[in-house]
Amino acid sequence: MLAHLSEFISYLRGERGLSPHTLEAYQRDILAFGDNDLTQENLCEYLAHMQKQGYAPASMARALIACKVFHRFLVRENYLPHSSLNLDSPKLWRLLPDVLTCQEVDHLLAAPDPTTETGARDKAILEVLYASGLRVSELCGLTIHSVDHQSVRVLGKGNKERIVPIGSKALQAIDYYLLHFRTHQQDQHLFLSVKGHAMNRVAVWRQVKIYAKKSGIKKNIYPHALRHAFATHLLENGAELRVIQDMLGHASIATTDRYTHVNMQQVQVAFRKFHPKNNG
């Protein structure tokens, strides 16, 4: 299987136009899977191993998507026979850790102390991550001019700009932080460290971990978990997948589609619990 990996990466680069970062991630994921048969059993073992190693759900989902696209390429090029292998089965997607519930998000957002500069900044960071579903790199790149009264202007992957709605609570948190603690700094970045430099991914990651522990959440929480919750909660409340795709800045609907798998798990739970013909 790995004998065709370089050909696959060349195909993605030439025909799909994926970024070098994405190509590198796909190649790394497939190499980590190894020269094993692309069976559901092997994929389950692969994802279970990633889960034990503490990988984020987004990384696990990307690895599964990489294997899925690679399998499709191998079949199309006649390197593998056509098969009925279901790489979208609930068995595989159940291995991805649970998304944050609305209550857990509330606890996380309430964890920072807004009476301090760090707490006010971190309160605004958490609110923005959940309100607009930004990647942590996008959040770190925001300036004080990126936000208006109803949206945030984001520079995403491939330097593609998009405009994403932002909620009133996030705006209130940003305004509080700027008005009380950002009156003298000259740096135009929206979120600054205590030394006055732009926040970076590592610093945001560290602060999210601190507040997750403080709020008593047992799940493996990291900045992308709030982006994941943003998309899943929108889907649960009736938002169309294409709309979510635009807000997340996904080039392909297939990337956004993984949230339908997460949501279907919750649908099945609700069905088993509440449907009158499904209870003894």
Who contacts 240 (Cβ-Cβ below 8 Å, separation ≥6)? none
Q: Which of 157, 182, 209, 219 is catalytic?
A: 157
CB 95 within 8 A of CB 49: no
Task: Copy the structure tokens of residue 5.
Answer: 């990996």
Is 157 one of the annotated active-site residues of the chain? yes
In terms of phi and psi (left: phi > 0; alpha: psi -120 to 50; beta: otherwise), the region of 196 is left
- Name which of 132, 126, 140 is nearest 163 in CA terms: 132
Is 272 one of the annotated active-site residues of the chain? no
Q: Which of 135, 228, 233, 258 is catalytic?
A: 135
Between β-strands 161-165 and 151-155, what pairing exists: parallel, antiparallel or unpaired? antiparallel
DSSP letter string over 137-184?
Answer: HHHHT-BTTSB-SSEEEEE-GGG-EEEEE--HHHHHHHHHHHHHH-SS
CB 254 within 8 A of CB 72: no
Q: Which of 62, 228, 250, 258 is catalytic?
A: 250
Q: Which amino acid is at 49?
A: H
Is 259 one of the annotated active-site residues of the chain? yes
Q: Taking the CB of residue 87, how many other CB atoms lie within 10 A of it?
A: 17
Q: Which of 224, 228, 233, 258 is catalytic?
A: 224
Is 227 one of the annotated active-site residues of the chain? yes
Q: Which of 71, 121, 227, 233 is catalytic?
A: 227
Q: Which amino acid is at 1?
A: M
Classified as helix, coil or strand, 55 is coil
Distance, CA of 88 to CA of 86 (rounded, Å): 5
Is 162 one of the annotated active-site residues of the chain? no
Is 55 one of the annotated active-site residues of the chain? no
The neighbouring-strand residues paired with 192 are 198
Show which residues are catalytic: 135, 157, 224, 227, 250, 259
